Amino acid sequence: MYIDSINKKGGINGKKIKLLVFDDHGDVNIAKKVASDIVAQNKAVVVLGHINSDACIAARKIYKEAKIPIISATCSVDAVTEGNKWYFKTVPNSSSNGIFLANYIKKVMNPNDVSIIYGNQYTTIAKSFHNSFRGLKGKIKHKIIIDKYTDIDQQVKEIIQTFLQDKPNFVFLTMDNNIIKKIIVAIKRNGLTFPIFARNLLPDTKLFDEYFEEQLSPGFFSNGVFTDSLLISDMAGESVQKIRREYIKKYRKTPSWVVITAYEAAKIAVKAISETQANNLIEKRKKVRNYLASRTSMENGLSGVDDKFYFDKYGNAVKPLSIGVFKNRKIISALTQFSPVYDMNFISNLKQELAKGRITIINKQYMHKTDIVYTGIDFN
């Protein structure tokens, strides 16, 4: 969508942008072949992709050896960018997400203890969350790993037995959505009422449809469950709302956060291309890479779809997560959010703001603690 909009305006310096489309199907072997094909064609200035972290990791060495910059809009695993100066992400990495969520849950929700349940592909964020929460003087009651390659139902049954015998005050889930679903259903059916934070739980209205409770009372399983996202529509600014409207008009469905971050990755790529001049493709790729790598602070950061952000030394986006809660099968913004302090010069008394909790430090970044207020207009 973004590239179409640029081309309608004449492209870059009068030249239309050509989008070469490939599909890796989220498969690591296909991802390697796609990356090799892109390199062999020798046409791309920059690559946007791949769709998941496994595919990104599988292809990254190929782009690195070819010295082609690549921007991912979805792959959060730390290993995607580590040791590869040609790889950038418009999403934070898993370790940063774990730190952010541990800070949010401790400083905003402040439960007496947290139990962590994580999939065996989510070890990085689970470890990061665990260490950060403990560092904030929080108590971890249970830490349970789910092996997706063995009997899931039996593992869920054992988790529920553990919780019935030693009830946690708060549960943090990070794993594939289809396993999160099973755990939430089991928790609700066994009458356990502690708060649940389900990491990156997609607002899929069909997720629980197979269960009779959901059919009788839509939202039965998801209502009250907290989750995180890079974007929540009721908090998004006008630029995101415009993208949503255009997407709905064109495709007749609501875009997910993946659509918005993909739009953002395209916007960043076009910006880097338009801001650099070169005599040949090899030089152009290098200059685009250097342009992206130089955006390392809020002062010289990049304008995303909704706000400014910048890259850390590994090429990961430094940006906060939005916290939401499910209500009637939709995600609405939680009443407290953390947002970056863009200019410290506007903070008159930093020590006082920190003491009162209105500003906090998360992963070496100052953050505003912001209260969300919902308002309505009554038309008579």
Average pLDDT for residues 136-165, to the nearest whole number? 97
Q: 82-85 long-range contacts, Cβ below 8 Å, gap at least 24?
A: 82/314, 84/60, 84/315, 85/289, 85/293, 85/315
CA distance 322 to 233: 10
User: Which amino acid makes up residue 62?
Assistant: I
Q: In what order do the strands lie in the sheet with 87-89?
A: 47-48, 70-72, 87-89
Q: Domain 95-229 is of which CATH architecture?
A: 3-Layer(aba) Sandwich (3.40)
Tell me which of 19 and 377 has the higher pLDDT.
19
Strand pairing partners for 367? 340, 360
pTM: 0.92
CA distance 357 to 342: 17
Going by pLDDT thresholds of 50, 70 and 90, the confidence category of residue 372 is: confident
Q: How many helices (H) and strands (E) does the chain have?
A: 12, 16
Q: Are 345 and 336 in contact (CB under 8 A)?
A: no
CA distance 207 to 211: 9
Residues 6+ apart with CB under 8 A from 252: none
User: Which amino acid makes up residue 190?
Assistant: N
pLDDT for position 140: 98
- Indicate the range of 13-22, 107-116, 171-180 predicted with least confidence: 13-22
Write a three-state SS string for 16-47: CCCCCCCCCCCCHHHHHHHHHHHHHHCCCCCE
Q: For residue 201, what are the CA distances in angstroms to 184, 192, 280?
A: 11, 20, 44
Going by pLDDT thresholds of 50, 70 and 90, the confidence category of residue 377 is: low
Task: Kindly state the tokens that stand for 300.
Answer: 């010289």
Q: Are 174 and 118 in contact (CB under 8 A)?
A: yes
Nearest CA-CA partner of 328 in 231, 230, 214: 214
State the alpha helices, DSSP H only, in the chain. Answer: 2-8, 28-41, 53-66, 94-104, 123-135, 152-165, 177-189, 212-216, 238-251, 257-274, 281-293, 350-355
pLDDT for position 204: 67
Read off the pLDDT of residues 243-301 as tens digits, 9 standing for 90 and up. Answer: 888 888 888 888 887 888 899 999 999 999 999 999 999 999 999 999 999 999 988 99
Residues 6+ apart with CB under 8 A from 195: 109, 111, 169, 170, 171, 224, 226
Q: DSSP code of 321?
A: P
The answer to whether residue 379 scores a pLDDT higher than 60 is no
**Burial tier of 187 (Cβ tally within 10 Å: 0-12, 13-18, 19+):** buried
pLDDT for position 380: 52
Read off the pLDDT of residues 171-204 as tens digits, 9 standing for 90 and up. Answer: 999 999 999 999 999 999 999 999 999 998 877 6
* Mean pLDDT of the residues in the chain: 92
What are the domain boundaries of the chain? 2-91+253-318, 95-229, 335-380
Average pLDDT for residues 139-154, to the nearest whole number? 96
- Residue 49 falls in which region: left (phi positive, over 0), alpha (psi -120 to 50) or beta: left
- The reply to whether 2-91+253-318 and 95-229 are identical in fold is yes
φ, ψ (nearest 5 deg) of residue 120 = -70, -5
CATH class of 2-91+253-318: alpha beta
The answer to whether residue 117 scores a pLDDT higher than 90 is yes
Q: Which residue has the tokens 């593992």?
A: 155
